[in-house]
Structures are given as structure tokens and as C-alpha cells.
Amino acid sequence: MIDANCGFSDGSATANPFGGTVSGNYIFDWDIDGVGDNDDNPNIPNLLAGVYSLTVIDDNNCTIDTSIIISNTSGPQITVNNTADPSCHGGNDGSIDLSISGGNQPYQIFWNPNQTSQTSVISNLFAGEHVVHVIDAVGCTVIDTITLNEPSPILIDLTLNNSTCQSCDGTASAVVSGGNPSAIYNTIWSNGNSGNLASSLCSGIYTISVSDNFGCSKDSNFTISDDLTGISVNPTLISPNCPGALNGSISLSPTGGASPYNYVWMNNGSTSNTVNNLSSGEYEVLITDNNGCTEVASFLLNNSTENIDISSYVTPADCNANNGNIKIIPNGGTAPYTYSWSNNSVTDSIFNLSAGLYTVTVTDNNGCSNTANIGLPNFNNLTISTVVTHVACFNENTGSISATVSGNTGSTTNTWFDENGNNLSSGVNVSNLSAGNYTLQVVDDISGCYQFENISIEQNTPIQASLGNTNNASCDVSCDGEASLVVYGGSHPYSYLWDNGASTSIANNLCEGLNNVLITDVQGCTFSQAFIIEKDDNLTFTSSTINATCGNCDGVANLTAVGGSGNESFTWFDGIVSNSHPNLCAGVHGFELIDNATGCSVISSVEVSDIGGPDNSIVNTVNPTCFNGADGSASVIASGGTPPYNYNWIPSGQNTNVISGLSAGLYHLEVIDNNNCKLVVPVSITNPSAPVVEQLTENATCGLNNGAISLIVYQGNGSYSYSWNGPNGFSSNAKNISNLEAGVYELTISDGNGCLYPYTFTINSDNGLTIDLTKTDISCFGINDGSISSTVSNGSGSYNYLWSTSSTNSNINNLGPGLYSLTVTDVNTNCISSDFVELLSPDSISISTAFVLEPSCFGQSNGQASVSVSGGNNIYAVNWTGMGIGFEQLNLSAGNYPITVTDQNNCTANGVVTINQPDSIQVIVDQIINSYCVDQSDGEIYISVIGGISPYNYSWINTGGTYSNTSDQDINNLLPGTYIITIIDQNLCSNSDTITVDAQNTIIADAGIDSSVCVGGCLDIIGSGLGSSVLSYSWSIVDSTTILSTDSLISAYCFNDTNDLQFVLSVSDQSCSDNDTITIIVNPLPIVDAGLDIDQIYGADVELGGQPTGPVGSSFVWSPSINFLNPNDSTLPNPDVIVLANQSYSVTVTDINGCQNSDDINIILIPDISYSSGFSPNNDGVNDTWSIDQIDQFPNCNVEIYNRWGTLLFKSVGYNEQWTGLFNEKPLPIGTYYFVIKLNDPLFPDPVTGPVTIIR
């Protein structure tokens, strides 16, 4: 090819095809200016710069397409200084920096696609081809295409392991690839993990966020599911119905997980889902489903009722007599109780008993029972002492009792009973006993007297154990589990023996599964327990691979450890230490997985394959119909690689293999197969040629329509039509146009293909005159102050003026309204032009009253008025003299209001608005008829009304508010008093007047002054009357018809409650009467508190009175006024007194209302002795006797000690010898005893009693 010289059609192209089948010449189909040319000429001359398409056809109609670019020589040159690719896939921060040289400046620069920039440096670019067109000052054009590349997208390949057994043991691993080749990735998981692995994941939705050091990022969501559902236990619990009962049970009905289920009960080793014969307590079970998922559950069985305790009170029988008694008191359980005695009694007490052992069973309302043995002794000197050996291990029968009997007169018969009354053995010793209560019955063989001793055998609590902290075994074969025990019950210290030989409470090196431990306490008691040690899941891995593509080493392998400790690492055979290995070629790649915490390891490999890409395409194009049109199209058929294909047209970004709407230019299609392998296909679209238009223009002269335009049109495809549009509606379809006025003319040429080509031409006017008239209209009606000024342009500058007023000046003044014209002649060119203008005058200002509202009432200022204004020059200012401005005025009283109106030209006019008002309302009293008596309603008033606007409304009211009339003009039946009449007319105007009606006769009743009284008090109530000489009286209580008195006096009326009362006095003569009321306030008596009775010793100082003794502000008097700490304290609310004897005091309180009330308090003298609640007579010199302090004040006292059966154990007259806990010179056992102290003093006749406890 030969390039065209800049702007000329002297380029040429020559085709030299080869191949195909041809007997003579090929057929050459050139596309020149959009017109095909089929011939056998391989040479095309006379070409302009541009892109030309050629199709070569052989004898078999096989074709090949190509494009040829003819450039301009000696035109501008483009140098690419620098390019910056987008940082991220899909980013738009790319840029291009060009230098342009050669040709003729200035340059025009156009970018494609979608760039408005016309500079040599552009930015914010996406990846793809960017075409620049540079046109110099003479039209030389150069085109260049610059391609910006982008990094591949960031790819995240996830490997997921779901959670199991409702636990949070799911994992996710990521292999990140793509992006910038030198990218360093930062991976953040939504659960807070970082790096390529997220662990301890519960079921749910998570997000992985990957960013690199170039600012590129990619997010991806994934879901972790739970492969195995959890186990729900669903227990049915039945607690024991009574304390100590063994009828509780637990039954399990598990759901979830995978059946069948296995059970291990930690308490008894049972493997059933139901355990029976249970006592109250806590039970624990391990459930394992068919998937190996486990659930541990614990349950608590409680007794439904409390244990029944039986207390007894015994009155011993005389020897060989039937006069003993037993009373029992049950506590706990649920009342009521039933009783069953061994002597067949069924009450809580049995009487007239001989000495012996009695057994009673108490059953409560729930059917729970308890049995007690109660020994009824004789009054005798028999004493029993015992030595007890308790049970060492829970539920064993190693207890024993050895007894010693003394105080007997001969041999004894000894019998042992258990707590259910069963006869165990005879003799003084008994063995092989379990924990419980036992009774020894001793019978003196000579006297026949009985004595009993109750003994309790105790035992240690059972040894129990539970797991503390545990660590699972790491691998199937690693016995590295650990368990620690929490042991309680039995007797400290403990020893341990585990299956693996461990001998402490913490065992190491335990294997997965059941591990047994034997616990032995210091008594040799043992307890065996099995515990389960779990194992961490088997160490293994999951893998995922991304195959290599297009022969590259871009494969990726991702590994995730499963079942390890969480501290694992992968070492690839090529030395890479990572769970993710990028940049792998096709082949097998080995690695070792190591659990760094346990040392467990796995050796394995993964395989990566290779996939090729697309390698061929068929391109079909259709060029635009018109020059610079955009209806070209192209289609591409790709082959090779791995379908389906993705398509990306550069620079448009369309993503199909067919594209339309194309203008001329070079396009590229990226074909990307399913493995992201890419093939780039170039596609060229060429322009058809456009018509060339040459024109000859003749300008208009003197502003006349004498211009013309002539055209010469060639090239293009011919068959042209023309459409002209010009100023003032000009249009034409001729090729050449004439008789044109000055202005812009637009031409549209249409060719045979319907292509439209627009052109614009300008006709100038040579020295035509333009007149510009400026007027000032008359300002006010009747004034001649108008003016007109002229400005002439587009002439030679020398002009003659002639106005219709005969003036020859350029401007005229002092004009009235009318039409004025001006003719201007150019002295040098004789061009003439005329123009006219009309001067306007405003109408005269007219003022009219638009609206008047009179004041509604006489003397008010609520009138309104508004005016309307017409004529003048609009924008009026309305001034009300002395009132203000505006078209409307409010709050006007009656009168005349002058107005001045001024328009925007200060033209004025005057007017007056008149406001009227109604007459005032007046009341005329026609007649007043007074009442006969003060309380008689026979008065009358008659009035007339003038003024205002009728009709009128009338409203009467008296000054006391007891009379009201809102309808009548004249009123009657009136009591004496002052009446106010208010007249309201139709406009709601009002006026009031006062009229007085007097009484012809006057009676005045006076009930006296209000007063007060205390509850229970009586008053004389005295009234009086004024009027005629003969008056009658009547007293009553308000709202009561009972007459209290017919005199002016109520004598000694008593008030017995706190209700206030109102009394009414009625006074009358034979014709008139009057009433008056008096109020008596009844005050309550004050609340008095002398305080609680006080027990105190002689000489003590005690305080009298309550908190408070009486109300604030009251006065106080105590009586009798003896033994006060200070003699004058008897008037204090809380005085102190000295206790010298039993004494009663009374306090009298008078409150601020003068009301009185009283209260009493008793001071009781008690003896000044004290004693301890117990003592320990073990001869250690400390607290060996029971002491009574200050008892020497009472030398005649009697001190007696009893046991719980009422046996007298100790008696002393005086207490010079303190009790040492002996009875019949033998120590009494530990227990509670009861004392009776009789002081034998006339001041203290009552005995002092209470319990005392012996502690040894």
C-alpha cells in the first residue's frame, strides 16, 4: 500500500493473495466509501487516508477478509510516553500519557470509547483498547490504539467441613489466586479468624474478605451446616414419695442424633434407658448415639415431703406399777398424722403404763411413716453407760455397743432392740450393727424395775467422685488424655488406683474410652467409678484443586486439616510449608500433614491437571450504512478450549459474540473459555465515503434580500436531494438558492441510502442600516413628558434624520401619547431605513370604596374598610391620613377617613371613606314592687330598652347568684336583693344596669359564732333574733327534720363522735322569718401510748412512754409522781423512773385543741439472777458446774433439775453446792435437762424455769 499525502486522495492499495483454488484471477471485493466493487483488479488507486475492507474470493467461493489502513504522510505523529494499567480487575484507575509532534498545530484530539477529554493525557480508564484520533490544523489525521491490561480477578476457592453433633467444630480453608502476580493477600473471616483457615465454626453464614497490597479486594459468603443433629434427652422423673424410700425412677426417651442410643449411668453403671428403685439424690448419664455424638445429662430427685421427726415426753412409772405415761409430738411430713403403738393404741399419748419398751409408728397424710422406740423406765437408781463403735464405711454393719449397768439390787436382764422394735440380742454387748438407733432395756431381776438407754450408731457419707478438668486423647493410638477427680464423702485422706496404674487424683496418659478408678479412704472404704475420655477426631485432611490452564503453572491445591488439635502444618515435598500451594504445574504433588501438638502425621498427595484454551475463530462484519454512522455489526464464532465461552468486546465491554451499533474503527474481542484461557480476535469496521461539497456565497447589501448560495457536490454515492432552512421561515429544496437576506442557512443533503449530511452557510449584509428606538412613556395622566431616542448602526456613520413631527434631530422630547416614526438616510451609501414607536399614557387614578363594616356596637373600634384602586401605573401606595397605609384598615371607630393613593410614578389621587355606628343600649326602669318579707318571693321589676339593634336578649342575675333568668324582659316572684340586668342586642352588643328590690318587713336570725369541742364534750348553743317584738325560735341540724329546741338556747348538747355538725336557727314572727347556721368542729382525743409493760430488776433506771407518747405540742402529767429520777420529770413525755417495786403509772395528755386522753404502764420487778444455758462437767476445771449468779440473795430458794421424762435428778435448798451433772453419783449423758428455781421470796412468788444442756 501507499499512504495518501495529507488530506489528498492519492493513496493506493495492492492485494497479493495466495492459496485457495483459482484457474485465472481471484475476485476482489473492495469496500470503498461503503460501496462494494467486485472485479479482478487487485490494485485500488486514488485513496484517501482511512480503513478499507477487502474480501478475496476463489473459484470455490472460499473467502478471506482483511483490512488495509491508508495513513496520511507528513501528518502529526503520536508517541506514547507512559501507560498505567488499572490496579485491580474491573478497576478504572488506568492512564495514558501521549506526546504529539509533526503536522500543523493546533491539534484536535478525540478518544474512543466514551472519553470527553481532548487532551493528550487521560486517566480513570478501564482495561481495554483506547483509540486516539489526532487531527492537525490542515485536517491531517493520525490514529493509534493503546491497550491497557488489567490483572485477573481475585479468586477464592473454599473447602468447607461442616460442624458435627451440634458442636462448633466446623472449618473453612481458602486458597486465594489471581489478582496481581506480586500481590500479598490479607484474609479476614467474619468470625474473627485470619489467614487461610477458619476453625471452631458453628452452623451459620460466614463471610471471607480478601484484600491485597494493591488495594484490590474480594468478599465471598459461605454456609456451614451441621451434619449431625444434637441429642435431646426428654427425661421422665418420678421422685421417691417419702424420705428414705427407694421407689424413684428416671426414664429417658431421647430424640435427635441417630438411633440406637447407648447409655452409661455414672452412679450405678446401668446401661438401660430406665433406672428404678432410686432414692433422692443427683444422677448422671452419658448418652452416645449411632454417630458417636454424646450428651451428658444430670437429674435431681427430691423427696416430696420432709422426714417425720418424733419427740417424746415420758413420765416414769413406779416400780411394778402401771402409772407411767408417754406423749409424742411429730414434726415434718404432712399433717394430719395417724398413730400405731405396740400396745394397739392409736392416739398421740398413752397412759397407765408399766415400765417397758413401746414402739410407735407415725404415718402422715401422704402415707409416709417413721417408727420410734420409747423406753418407759421406773423411778430407780439403775444407770447405764455405753461405749459405741460407729460404722466405718457407708452401708456396712460393723458397728457395736458395749454397755455397763450400775445401781441394780441384783442381776439384770438386758435386751437390745433396733429402731423398728425388733429384738436383736441379750447381754450387755451387741455387734454387727448398721447405722441406726438402738435401745437397751435393763430389768433389775430383784426389784423388777426397768431402765432404758437409747444409742445411735453413725456412719460416714458414701464416697462419691466426679470429673473436674479433662483433656481428650489426641489420636486413636495416643494415650495422652488427662482427667482430674473431685472426691467427697468417706474419711480423708484418699488413695487412688487407675486402670493405667496412676495413683493420684489427676491421671495422665489415659487412652480414649472407659477408664476405671478405685478410690479408698483412710477407713479402707472403697468406691469404684468409670469415666469416659473422649478423643479428638482422627487426624485427616480434605483437599481441593484448581487445575492449571493454557499450559501455565497456575494450578492451586488447598488442604484443610480435620480432627487434629488445631495446631497442624503442611509441608510439601518441594519445601513449601503451607496449607495452600499456588503456581502448580500439571502433575502429582506430595505433602506431609503434622499435628504439632500431638506429633500425629499423615503423608499423602494431590494431582493437578492441565486444560487448554480457545485457538480459532470465524469473523463476519457489516460496515455502517452512512459515513460516520453507527449501525455496523460483527459476529465471531470461536472454537477450541473448554466451552462455554465468555466474550468481552474492547472497548465497548459487550459480552456476547455478536455486536452491533458499530462505527468505523478497529475492535477487539476477547474470547475467554471456562478455564479463563483467552483468545483476542481483531475486527475492523470501515466507513463509506461522504459527499464533498464546495460552495459559492454572495452576501446581501444595504440590508436587502439579494444574497445567493451556489453548490458543487461530488463523491459519495450520488442520488442527492437537498433541504434548506433559513431565517424568518425560509425553506427550499433547490440545490442553489438566491434572493437571500442576511443570516444562517442550514442545508441537509440526503443520498440514495437515506444518509443525511448537514452543512451550515452564512449570508452577511453589506452596510445595511439598523435603527434602535428607545422610548420613555408619559409618566402621569394629562402630562406631556414622553421622549424617544434613536441609535443607528451598520452604516457609514453619517446619517440624516426625519421624524413624523418634522424634527431632524436624532432624539425628540416633551411628547404626548401617540405614534411616532423616524426615517434615516446613510449620507455615503444612500441606504435608507425606517422604524416607528408608540408612546403610551396611563389612565387617571380612580378610588372606590370596596367594603365597609361598621362597628358592631356603639363606641367600639372594630369597624373595617377597604378601597379598590384602578388606573395609574400600578403598584399603588394607599395612605390613610393618621391611620397608616394599605388597601384595608381594621379596628375603626365611627368617622370620616381621608385617603391618598400614589402609584409607582408618584402620580396621586385623593378620596374619603365614611364609617357609621349603631346607637347605645339604654335600660329604663318602669316600675319596682318591693317584697313583703326578707324571705318572701313577691317582688317585681318592669323595664324598657332603647338603642342598639333589636331584637334584644335579657339576662337577670342577683348579686348572690341565687337567681337567674335569661328570657324575660320583666321579672317577678323576687326576694329582696340587688338584681343585675344585661341587655344583648342582635350584634351581641351589651349593656348592664343594677336594680334593687327591698323588703317591706325585716327579720334577722343570729345563730352565734362557729366553735369547736372535744369528742365526748358538751356545749350550750345560744342564738338570738331581731325584728318584731314577738318572735319564735326553732333549732335543728342541717339535713335533719328533728327539732332540737324551740328556744333561743340549746342546752348541754354532747358530741360523742368526731363528725362536725351544723346547727340551723330559724326565727319568725306571724308573717316573716329568717335562718342562720353555726358550725361546731369536733376534735378527736389525742392518741396516748404510755409504752409496753417493763420487766426489770431492783434499782434499774427505765424510761416511760411510747414513741411518741402523744402528739407534738401536747402537755403531759404522769401519776403517781413517785420514784422519778428527777422530781420534776412527771410532766415530761418520756421520764425515767427507778424500779423499787411493782408499780403502775398513768399518763394524761392534753393536745393543742385542749382535748385529753390517758394510758397506763406496769413496771414489774424481777429477780436479779442469771445462769448459763449449759455446762461441760468433764473435770477439766472449766465450766464443770452449773452456776447461778446472784442466787445468794435468796438463801431459802429451792433448785430442782429434771430429765425429759420428768425424773427429779437434783434438788437443793439454797444453792451453796452447784450441780455437777451427776445423778445418783453417776454422770448424766449429753442432753438437755430442765430446771425449776423457787426463790421463796414474797417479792417473787413465781418460779424461774428453763432448759440446761450438758456438753461433754
Task: Indicate which CATH number applies to the domain containing 420.
Answer: 2.60.40.10
The total of other beta-carbon atoms located within 10 Å of residue 683's CB is 24
Query: What are the cell numbers at 519?
Result: 478410690
What pLDDT score was predicted for residue 1191?
92
- Provide the total of helices (H) and of strands (E) in the chain, helices listed first: 0, 116
Q: How many distinct structural domains can be found in the chain?
A: 13
Q: Are residues 938 and 1010 in the same domain?
A: no
In this predicted structure, the answer to whether residue 594 has a pLDDT above a threshold of 70 is yes
Query: What are the cell numbers at 965?
Result: 333568668
Query: What are the cell numbers at 986?
Result: 342582635
In this predicted structure, the answer to whether residue 114 has a pLDDT above a threshold of 70 is no
Does residue 736 sit within a domain? yes
What pLDDT score was predicted for residue 77?
84
Does residue 540 sit within a domain? no
Q: Tell me the C-alpha distance between 370 and 306, whole Å.
A: 11
End-to-end Cα distance, the chain: 133
Q: Which residues lie below 8 Å from residue 486, measured CB to CB, with a gap of 6+?
A: 465, 466, 467, 468
Q: Tell me the C-alpha distance between 1095 and 1167, whole Å.
A: 10
Is 999 within 8 Å of 976 (Cβ atoms)? yes
Instruction: Determine which of 255-264, 982-991, 1175-1184, 1212-1221 has the lowest per-residue pLDDT on average.
Output: 255-264
Q: How many residues in total does the chain contain?
A: 1256
Does residue 762 sit within a domain? yes
In this predicted structure, the answer to whether residue 308 has a pLDDT above a threshold of 60 is yes
Among candidate residues 629, 756, 647, the one with its CA nearest the CA of residue 685? 629
Q: Are residues 1196 and 1226 in the same domain?
A: yes
- What's the burial of 758, exposed, middle or buried (CB within 10 Å: 0-12/13-18/19+)? exposed
DSSP codes of every residue in 645-695:
PEEEEETT---SSEEEEE-SEEEEEEEE-TT--EEEEEEEE-PBPPEEEEE
In this predicted structure, the answer to whether residue 1234 has a pLDDT above a threshold of 90 is yes
Does residue 196 sit within a domain? yes
What pLDDT score was predicted for residue 32?
67
Q: Tell me the C-alpha distance between 1075 and 1062, whole Å.
A: 13
Instruction: Determine which of 121-130, 193-202, 225-234 has the lowest per-residue pLDDT on average.
Output: 225-234
Strands (E), 195-337: 197-201, 204-212, 217-224, 231-232, 235-238, 248-252, 255-256, 262-265, 274-278, 281-288, 294-301, 309-315, 324-331
What pLDDT score was predicted for residue 803?
93
Q: SS3 of 913, please?
A: strand
Instruction: Determine which of 174-188, 280-294, 348-362, 810-824 has the lowest per-residue pLDDT on average.
Output: 280-294
Q: How confident is the model at residue 232 (pLDDT cuts 50, 70, 90)?
A: confident
Compute and round to an integer the Cα radius of gyration of the chain. Answer: 65
Place of cell 470429673: 467
In this predicted structure, the answer to whether residue 340 has a pLDDT above a threshold of 90 is yes
Among candidate residues 477, 479, 495, 476, the one with its CA nearest the CA of residue 487? 495
With pLDDT > 70 as the criterion, what percentage of the chain qualifies?
A: 96
Q: Could you report the per-residue pLDDT of 3-58, keeping only the tens digit for each?
A: 776 656 778 888 888 888 888 788 888 876 544 555 567 888 877 777 778 888 88
Mean pLDDT of 1145-1156: 95
Does residue 885 sit within a domain? yes
Greatest alpha-carbon span in the chain:
183
Is 683 within 8 Å of 650 (Cβ atoms)? no
Q: How confident is the model at residue 529 (pLDDT cuts 50, 70, 90)?
A: confident
Any bridge partners for residue 870, and if so which? 846
What pLDDT score was predicted for residue 206?
93
Does residue 157 sit within a domain? no
In this predicted structure, the answer to whether residue 304 has a pLDDT above a threshold of 90 is no
What pLDDT score was predicted for residue 1200?
95
Q: Tell me the C-alpha distance between 243 and 855, whole Å.
A: 101
Query: What are the cell numbers at 641?
Result: 478450549
User: Mean pLDDT over all residues of the chain?
Assistant: 87
Q: Are residues 997 and 1008 in the same domain?
A: no
In this predicted structure, the answer to whether residue 1159 has a pLDDT above a threshold of 60 is yes
Q: Which of 1149, 1165, 1181 is the last residue of a domain?
A: 1165
Among candidate residues 8, 20, 90, 94, the one with its CA nearest the CA of residue 50? 8
Torsion of CA 1098, 1103, 1106, 1112, to 10 degrees: 160
The single-letter code of the amino acid at 32 is I
What pLDDT score was predicted for residue 545?
85
176-190, 432-446, 475-489, 599-613, range with greatest mean pLDDT: 432-446
Instruction: Determine which of 263-277, 534-548, 805-819 has the lowest per-residue pLDDT on average.
Output: 534-548
Q: Are residues 761 and 779 in the same domain?
A: no
Among candidate residues 1144, 1130, 1137, the one with its CA nearest the CA of residue 1099? 1137
Is 22 within 8 Å of 58 (Cβ atoms)? yes
Is 1221 within 8 Å of 1177 (Cβ atoms)? yes
Q: Are residues 123 and 136 in the same domain?
A: yes
Q: Are residues 1021 and 994 in the same domain?
A: no
Q: Tell me the C-alpha distance between 1228 and 1217, whole Å.
A: 17
Q: Are residues 1016 and 988 in the same domain?
A: no
Q: Are residues 251 and 214 in the same domain?
A: no
Place of cell 477407713: 523
Q: Which of 766, 794, 824 is the last residue of a domain?
A: 766
Q: Which residues lie below 8 Å from residue 1239, measured CB to CB, with a gap of 6+?
A: 1167, 1194, 1196, 1197, 1247, 1248
Task: Give 149 or 421, the one with higher predicted confidence.
Answer: 149
- What's the burial of 951, exposed, middle or buried (CB within 10 Å: 0-12/13-18/19+)? exposed
Q: SS3 of 420, please?
A: coil
Q: Tell me the C-alpha distance between 695 and 711, whole Å.
A: 4
The total of other beta-carbon atoms located within 10 Å of residue 868's CB is 13
Query: What are the cell numbers at 631?
Result: 449501525
Q: Could you report the per-residue pLDDT of 452-490, keeping only the tens digit for each?
A: 888 989 988 888 887 777 787 777 667 878 888 888 788
What pLDDT score was predicted for residue 476?
61
Mean pLDDT of 983-992: 91
Mean pLDDT of 184-209: 87
Q: Which of 1001, 1024, 1040 is the last residue of a domain?
A: 1001
Give the domain CATH number at 326. Answer: 2.60.40.1080
What pLDDT score was predicted for residue 290?
82
Mean pLDDT of 895-901: 92
The total of other beta-carbon atoms located within 10 Å of residue 1181's CB is 6
477-486, 540-549, 901-910, range with greatest mean pLDDT: 901-910
Among candidate residues 1003, 995, 996, the one with its CA nearest the CA of residue 934? 1003
Q: How confident is the model at residue 1031 (pLDDT cuts 50, 70, 90)?
A: confident
Mean pLDDT of 998-1007: 86
Q: Are residues 441 and 475 in the same domain?
A: no
For the sheet containing 922-929, what is the strand order? 922-929, 939-946, 971-974
Q: Tell me the C-alpha distance between 228 and 388, whole Å.
A: 60
With pLDDT > 90 as the criterion, what percentage of the chain qualifies?
A: 36
Q: Are residues 373 and 384 in the same domain?
A: no
406-410, 701-705, 715-719, 877-881, range with greatest mean pLDDT: 877-881
Q: Tell me the C-alpha distance between 1214 and 1248, whole Å.
A: 14
Among candidate residues 144, 148, 127, the one with its CA nearest the CA of residue 135? 144
Q: Tell me the C-alpha distance between 181 and 150, whole Å.
A: 11
The single-letter code of the amino acid at 398 is T
Among candidate residues 609, 680, 675, 619, the one with its CA nearest the CA of residue 644? 675
Mean pLDDT of 1135-1148: 93
The total of other beta-carbon atoms located within 10 Å of residue 1249's CB is 12
Task: Give 597 or 636, the one with higher predicted confidence.
Answer: 636
Full 3-state SS string of 47-80: ECCEEEEEEEECCCCCEEEEEEEECEECCEEEEE
Mean pLDDT of 1042-1062: 91
Query: What are the cell numbers at 867?
Result: 378601597
Q: Are residues 997 and 1009 in the same domain?
A: no
Q: Are residues 791 and 852 in the same domain?
A: no
Give the domain CATH number at 484. Answer: 2.60.40
Among candidate residues 720, 668, 731, the one with its CA nearest the CA of residue 692? 720
Does residue 653 sit within a domain? no
Is 391 within 8 Å of 366 (Cβ atoms)? no
Mean pLDDT of 974-996: 92
Domain that holds residue 746: 691-766
Q: How confident is the model at residue 1115 (pLDDT cuts 50, 70, 90)?
A: very high
Among candidate residues 1020, 1018, 1154, 1147, the one with its CA nearest the CA of residue 1085? 1154
What pLDDT score was predicted for residue 941?
94
Does residue 992 sit within a domain? yes
* φ, ψ for residue 111, nearest 5 deg: -110, 145
In this predicted structure, the answer to whether residue 1237 has a pLDDT above a threshold of 90 is yes
